[in-house]
Amino acid sequence: MAKRSPRADLLRQALAREAARIMIEHGVDDHLFAKRKAAERLGVTDQAVLPRNTEIEEALAEHQRLFTPDAHATELADLRRTALDAMRLLSDFEPRIVGPVLSGTATAHSDILLHVFADTPESVAFSLMDRGIRHRVVEKRVKLQRDEAATFPTLRFEADGCEVDAMVFPKDGLRQSPMSPVDGRPMRRATAAELEALLAAGA
């Protein structure tokens, strides 16, 4: 196996930090776009040194810890409280929170991402309508396995000034979490009770 060049490692770290900065400052949530923009800014053309998504996530956490620890803690707690309210609103559909608000790398620009489970997407939509909550339906694609992707209806609505995306899975979708775009493993999901515990612990 060829040894990695120390220079390539340093360049990869610099690209990860720049990609993280772009995501934080410009509200970007697409890792691929952020790493390509970082490469453009640093004049890097070698695709082999582009950082992995996990390296960008590590750089995000490091940036938030070093430069904006208090502001980040406040933003994250606010987002998690709003997410908890949205989950309680959708409690009939066994909601689970996923993504940056759960992992802790969310920025002020991050959307709240939920997975809900129902016989039909219409039942979730009617529940929102009954509460007078305006929403729209979009289609979002996720990977179920490395070589299998699927599209699911997603109800997008606003809560306390934050955008919430509630992706609707069939009821048996609780058994299999989609693959994370960050590390390719089954996406971490958390219940409202687990999110409440994180808030109480200040984690």
For range 24-36, the mean pLDDT: 89
Residues 98 and 59 in one domain: no
Contact by Cβ (8 Å): 45, 126? no
- pLDDT value, residue 146: 79
Q: Which of 8, 3, 13, 1 lies closest to 58, judged by CA?
A: 13
90 inside domain: yes
Q: Do 59 and 75 share a domain, yes or no?
A: no
Number of H helices and E strands in the chain, helices first, is 7, 5
Q: Say if CB 164 and CB 172 are below 8 A apart.
A: no
Of 49, 67, 85, at which residue does a domain stop? 67
**Pairing status of strand 135-145 against strand 112-117:** unpaired
CATH number at residue 97: 3.30.460.10
Q: Are residues 109 and 185 in the same domain?
A: yes
Please answer whether residues 119 and 171 qualify as being in contact, where contact means their C-beta atoms are separated by less than 8 angstroms.
yes
Do 48 and 114 share a domain, yes or no? no
Residues 105, 188 within the same domain: yes
What's residue 95's pLDDT?
Answer: 98
Q: Does the predicted TM-score (pTM) go above 0.85?
A: yes
* Per-residue confidence (pLDDT) for residue 4, from 0 to 100: 61
Span 142-161, pLDDT tens digits: 999 878 899 999 999 999 99
The model's confidence at residue 3, banded by pLDDT at 50, 70 and 90, is low
Whole-Å CA distances, 100 to 24, 48, 120, 138, 175: 12, 26, 27, 20, 21
pLDDT in tens, 46-98: 888 999 999 999 999 999 889 889 999 999 999 999 999 999 999 999 999 99
Task: Quote the number of domains for the chain.
Answer: 2
Over residues 163-184, the pLDDT tens digits come to 999 999 999 999 989 999 999 9
- The last residue of one of the domains, among 46, 67, 88, is 67
Query: Are residues 153 and 85 part of one domain?
Result: yes
Percent of the chain residues past pLDDT 70, beyond the cut = 98
Asked if 98 and 160 sit in the same domain, the reply is: yes
Q: Are residues 177 and 154 in the same domain?
A: yes
Domain that holds residue 170: 70-201
Are 121 and 188 part of one and the same domain?
yes
- Boundary (domain end) residue, out of 48, 67, 86: 67
54 found inside a domain? yes
